[in-house]
Chain A
Amino acid sequence: MNPIRVLLADDHTVLRLGLRAFLEEQTSLAVRVVGEASGGQEAVALAQSLHPDVLMLDLSMPGMGGLEATIELRRLEPRLRILILTQHAEAIYMRRLLEAGANGYLLKSARGDELLCALRAVAEGGTYMEPTLAGQLMAHPEHSGDDTATSAEEAYARLTQRERQVLKLIAEGMSNKEIASALDVALKTVMTHRVNLMDKLDIHNHARLVQFSIKVGLLPMA
């Protein structure tokens, strides 16, 4: 089996050297580091000349950062596999990078075996997501609700009677306090219904709530 040809791109020299030593010394996966870059620009140039299998890319680098380099390389080297290796432990970064075309997202705080696992997955054509961040990403899928008529009906069917009442009042423009006094319930109850129904419908925008209410017939056509 051919070793995985890896290009390392990180401005932090100590880390880069440690990473290189680690990858070359370990025995569980055949890896060959073919080059090192200390910035985004250099990474793009080396990726084009060395044609590595995987680029292990840091995000925060002086000059061109990891995100720009990913976008650039996705255009120039469509077959290149990109594994992001970063300190940014926020799901939003991972989402952004995966959207930009990265194949894997790994934190620098990861253990060595996790690193190898990610490298293998990416090299074999899969996608690797940092497990803790993947959980957050799943909890808040950004654009999941393409409201076709059926999905709107389905989503509406999942709402309780009370949630539908609250939705109608929200769509009519009432504030939470007004809804609480209109339904004669506690503010906490209204907020619970509100958060629940918005999560169920995956709509986090007032205008879209109104649209949805019209679509399912809660509100008359404007």
Chain B
Amino acid sequence: MLGRNKDPPCSVALMPEPMHLPLGRRPGLRGSLYHRALLFALLGGGCLVGAVLASTHSAELFAASQRDSTLCRAIAERRPMDSLCPTCHGTTASAGHAFAGPVQTPLPALAAREAKAESLQPEIGLQRHMATVGAAFVPLFLIFVGLSVRSVVRPVVRLTRAVREAEATGLPLQVPEFGADEVGELAHALSRWHARRLESLAETAQHRAALDREVILHEQELSIEQQRRALLRRVLSAQEEERRRIARDLHDTVAQDLAALRLEIERLSRQPMAPAIAARLRTLEEQTQAMHATARRILLDLRPLVLDDMGFLPALQWHLERVAREQSIRGQLCVDGDEAPLDRETSVTLFRIFQEALQNVVRHASADHVLVTVAFGKDSVALTVEDDGVGFAPEEPGSARALQQHLGLCGMRERAQLLCGTLEIDAKPGQGTTIHVVAPLSQDAKESPS
């Protein structure tokens, strides 16, 4: 450290042994701890003058010393010197004094090293002193540490307990009074955090409750929709059942009665009778015939018994032919896939959709052809009614025909939905209309003729 100092411009050759030179300390001020003498070699008028600047012996300060000559020699020979001042130290010192000579500089500084025991005496003394003080201090220190740790840990334990309780009970955090230290701060922070958490929990619960209410409302709406569907299904099925019964009754009673009546009139008219009565009987027979035809038309409109007696496809074919004949349209039925039995609800519903679709064609489409396709898939059946009419030309809004058209379409859609099926209408002006219904095939479907 000495030799590396650039300023003041002096360089001192290092001594063979490390030096204990507290040069940074101000010599003399703490002389009682200083046994080392510091020597300044001053260059004045070509001769070296040395002086003791610091010493434990106050008498030595600034006194002339034999060191001077040694110093001179060291400087002149430019090498470290080792010597002992017999005036001060006698001849007993085990280690010599070392002097380092300034090499070229005008302001050399020199340090002297003195006897080890002598020079280390304060440290040794301090060591002993420290050991004594330390021995006394360690237990105190341990006690202090123990107390400190306790003072930190205990509140933390209490705080932890309080937090656990708050967590378990969901009540606000009851913070024990800890004072203003870090643990106290922590406790307050925890308390604030917990309060906020409780608030946000309460908020979440509120949101959840609101959400739950919405879900319940939605479910209620759904169930209302389901109830509506179920009701509609019941109404429709009751209507179908009633129509079927009335049609069957008409068929079995009124129509049969009229047939019997006609036969009876015919039998009567074979008897010899006055021409006037014969003419009356003929008229009566014709009237009966007309009544019979009317009864049949009514019952067919109510419910085609073909559907119950023969099944879906024959009924479709029959109805298509009937409408085509009456309306001068050409109709064609195509069946794709392997015909699968339809349960009664599916066949009746699909038939009613078909009837409605055909009626729309007749009413609105001015079509020449109707192509009806029934495609049986693996687990669904698709019914397509395609015409080559004017396409979907919506009736003037608000008109009776528009309402009728709208109701017709709605009715078809509702019926398809009752089957858990879908209904699509593809219609563009001039492009004809296609109605496409897909209904699932129920697994245990059985065509059940009445």
Contact = CB atoms under 8 A, between A and B. Distances in A.
B332 interface: yes
A108 interface: yes
Instruction: Name A's interface SS.
Output: helix
A1 interface: no
B263 A112 contact: yes
A96 B289 contact: no
A111 B430 CA distance: 48
Interface of B: 248, 251-253, 255-257, 259-260, 262-264, 266-267, 270, 289, 292-293, 296, 305-306, 309-310, 314, 317-318, 321, 330, 332-337, 368-369, 371, 373, 375, 386, 388, 430-432
B216 to A, nearest CB: 47
A206 B388 CA distance: 19
Interface stretch (A42-50, A144-152, A185-193): A185-193
A92 interface: yes
A205 B388 contact: no
A205 B430 CA distance: 27
A195 B256 CA distance: 39
A89 B248 CA distance: 14
Nearest to B250: A87
A18 B261 CA distance: 8
Contacts of B332: 194-195, 198-199, 204
B368 A188 contact: yes
A18 B268 CA distance: 11
B266 A176 contact: no
Given A60-B252, A112-B263, A204-B334, A92 B369 contact: no
A22 B369 contact: no
6 contacts: A91-B321, A108-B256, A136-B321, A191-B369, A192-B369, A198-B334
Interface string A173-187: 000110000000011
Given A15-B256, A192-B369, A206-B375, 15 more contacts: A14-B260, A15-B263, A21-B267, A60-B309, A87-B256, A92-B306, A93-B309, A140-B321, A176-B371, A177-B431, A191-B432, A192-B368, A204-B335, A205-B335, A206-B336
Interface in A59-112: 60, 87-93, 96, 108-109, 111-112
A192 B336 CA distance: 20
